[in-house]
Amino acid sequence: MFNESLLKLPQDVIEIWADNGYGKMVSRRQGDDDPRSPVLTIPNKAKRARGIYYHVTFHDLQASSFLTLLLNSPHFVAEEIAKVRAAKMDTLELINVGNVKPHVLFIREIARSWRRDYQVRSETDIIQEYVAHYYSEAQSEISGIYQAYFKAPIQYGLHDDQKAGDEFATYLIRKVVKAWMGHYPQLEAMNWLTGNVALDEQLTKVTQLIDTKYAAWDQLYRRAVQVYADIMAKQPQRLFYNDMLLGIAVHACSLHALWATISAYRHYQQAEIVHAFLGADEAVRANDEILRLRRDNPSPKCRFLSQRCLFQRGFERDEVTPIAFLSTGLRGWPR
């Protein structure tokens, strides 16, 4: 409407242009419609001041990152913010962080971009500077975990920002269960991911996407568990648990749950009811691992918040330390 001159605005209004929710300054996808209209090249005919509404975290129940660190790298974000400045769209920047603590890496870099002398740094430099500032030990190992994290996501689309965030697997689980229980011919409103094909082909495509990065998340989870165990001081250990280990677990376990759910459905289609039941149980256990990790959080403040949520779901506490549970909980993984 604005580009067609259908909106008349006062001259002293600051125009605020948004990214797509994934850190790219193009129009947001609306369901299956994803025109990716560019923002930074829109002519400023009225010569108004311009700003941005930019997402470090995004909640759209599809493929976005909300609970965990954005999967588009800090270098990607730094470059995009530099383009915003070059386009003179930085009069006012509204940064949506959803929550502060899990996203400090990106918040810190965006804050740096407000300096006159800001220069885009490499991903390695951004990560190493962040780790050196916050961690007193195991800096090389922790930096390696961060760098591997940004290489682990599923690339679900052709564009560099189309990476599967922490909502991807859980969103799809709900879609699979709904189609299964309702005997629907398709996963509802999933053409943006699979195209307009039948349910069986949709699930095949989803499984193929999972297989591209399942091993990477599994291995990263194991590495993160080991790094967590190797950190000796309590404060950096708690920091690593909440800044990185928990986020990796969300991705690894939810992908495991999605794979198991699809496997259960396949068994059901073949009238292998026992295997279908076991697959569904495996999916529940994979998601329960995330809940267990939140409940056993070594940070008292974070653990208190998690316990308030889990109490309502009727979980009973058993005395399992996070590292003991992680070490034993991974052994049963099928892939």
Query: How far apart, in whole angstroms, are the C-alpha atoms of residue 103 and residue 248?
Result: 14
Which residues have C-beta within 8 Å of that of residue 177, sequence separation ≥ 6? 261
Answer yes or no: are the C-beta atoms of 67 and 171 closer than 8 Å.
no
40-88 pLDDT, tens digit each: 999 999 999 999 999 999 998 899 999 999 999 999 999 999 999 999 9
Average pLDDT over residues 324-331: 35
pTM (two decimals):
0.89
Query: How far apart, in whole angstroms, are the C-alpha atoms of residue 174 and residue 188?
Result: 10
| Paired strand residues for 95 | 54
Residue 2 confidence (pLDDT): 86
Q: How big is the chain by its Cα radius of gyration, in Å? A: 22
One-letter identity of residue 38:
P
Handedness of CA 293, 295, 298, 304 (dihedral sign): positive
Question: What three-state secondary structure class fits 3?
Answer: coil
Handedness of CA 62, 192, 105, 238 (dihedral sign): positive
Residue 99 confidence (pLDDT): 85
List the structure tokens of 41: 């090249």
Residue 307 confidence (pLDDT): 58
> For residue 266, what are the CA distances in angstroms to 65, 147, 148?
28, 35, 32
Answer yes or no: are the C-beta atoms of 216 and 151 closer than 8 Å.
yes
| Paired strand residues for 97 | none
Residue 331 confidence (pLDDT): 33
Answer yes or no: are the C-beta atoms of 179 and 188 closer than 8 Å.
yes
Give percent above pLDDT 70 in the chain.
90
137-167 pLDDT, tens digit each: 999 999 999 999 999 999 999 999 999 999 9
The region, left, alpha or beta by phi > 0 then psi within -120 to 50, assigned to residue 31 is: left
